[in-house]
Structure 1
Amino acid sequence: MKKQTVFFYIGIMLFLVSCKIAPKAIQYGTDVCHSCQMTIVEKTHAAEIVTKKGRAYKYDAIECMLQDLDKRDINTVELFLVTDYLKPTVLINAKEATFLISKEIKSPMGANLSAFANKEAITASGEQFNWEEINHHIN
């Protein structure tokens, strides 16, 4: 096989791998919130969006992600992800999560907002929301 052909196929493979639309791991203590520029430290409240082009934007709190959505065309977003409060570092589909605003659970930006994969697992008292409701409540 000619060198040019090999380089062509290597280039195509790299392009396909680099455009993968998937969550990007959050590097706690290193990554910075796209909205407020704070270092992402708390593993129970981080959030992330991934665009249709595969670019990930990371947030230190769900409320930062929600407020940032006002500044962007959400039609370009492929994934809306939030951390399951009961499974720190595990990102779940925000559209399927149950959100809780509770004074019992503090969040980094002070909205006391957390997300849960399983509604029945919520033990703290507070106001519960689905994806659409929390978007309207925060924004």
Structure 2
Amino acid sequence: MVVDTDDDRSPAGAPRRWPGRVFDRGVDPDPRFSLANERTFLAWIRTSLALFAAGVALEALTLPIAPGLRRAAAVVLILLGAAAPVQAFLGWLRTEAALRLGRSLPPPTLAVPLGLGLVVAGGLILIGLLV
């Protein structure tokens, strides 16, 4: 049996949700917008997993790529994969807060670094194939 205490309730009487710095402000937006925000978060998580898989695959498979360049490309992909979930959560926080407060949506923060990182990794792989 679950017992609600006053500490688990917001001032309006609804159960508290985490993180409070988002959910304790403003009003609940249209659920479709919150669900779209969650889908975007999950898309970043899938992107992160794909980047990790690509980085590991570069090192695990025997590919005709110069070893130093292959390792550098793998490191770039794995670092991007590690940054994506952090950006996903921070982006979700900022977007949910903007929705709740009726503000403009924040711009994506990892799109440009991700694109540049992929260009660098692709360039390293291409050079490694040609060397």
TM-score tier, shorter chain, comes to under 0.3
Question: Given the two structures, how large is their TM-score scaled by the length of structure 1?
Answer: 0.24
Q: Which has the larger radius of gyration?
A: 2
Question: Given the two structures, how large is their TM-score scaled by the length of structure 2?
Answer: 0.25
Greater strand fraction, Structure 1 or Structure 2: 1
